[in-house]
């Protein structure tokens, strides 16, 4: 018989991080931004064109994703490029694409 001491405990910090990530991803526009980014580094203007909404709207959602530590960014000249800097997030997005976005 297994008792509570034998179970592998989940770290509270990991659970909190996962919940924070899932909450940030739960907005359709933010999820679309993450899917568009995938493993690429894309400028804000390119994200606007690919997602199809205003730059101010995209910027607001990018700020939320950055705040939740889902995105990294780099500045080159007068452009800002965003990317997903967590391999676990890339895996999660890939799994969601396979499950929800494939044609059956």
Residue 74: give its domain's CATH number: 1.10.10.10
The mean pLDDT value for 1-22 works out to: 73
CB 51 within 8 Å of CB 58: yes
**Dihedral through CA 92, CA 85, CA 71, CA 38, nearest 10?**
-50
- Quick one: pLDDT at residue 72? 92
Q: Which tokens is 9 given?
A: 């405990």
Kindly report, residue by residue over 51-73, the tens digit of the pLDDT. Answer: 999 999 999 999 999 998 899 99
The DSSP code for 11 is: P
Report the domain count for the chain.
1
Count of Cβ atoms closer than 10 Å to residue 4 Cβ: 6
Q: What is the pTM of this model?
A: 0.81
Q: Is residue 91 part of a domain?
A: yes
pLDDT digits (tens, 9 = 90+) for 18-35: 888 899 899 999 999 999
The whole domain housing 46 covers: 27-100
Output the DSSP codes for 60-97: HHHHHHHHTT-EEEEEETTEEEEEE--HHHHHHHHHHH
């Amino acid at each position: 018989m297994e008792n509570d001491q034998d179970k592998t405990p989940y770290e509270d910090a990991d659970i909190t991080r996962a919940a924070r990530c899932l909450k940030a991803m739960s907005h359709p526009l933010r999820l679309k931004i993450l899917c568009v980014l995938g493993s690429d580094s894309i400028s804000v203007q390119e994200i606007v064109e690919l997602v199809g909404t205003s730059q101010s709207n995209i910027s607001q959602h990018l700020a939320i994703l950055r705040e939740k530590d889902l995105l990294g960014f780099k500045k080159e000249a007068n452009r800002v490029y965003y990317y997903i800097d967590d391999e676990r997030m890339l895996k999660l997005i890939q799994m969601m694409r396979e499950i929800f976005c494939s044609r059956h």
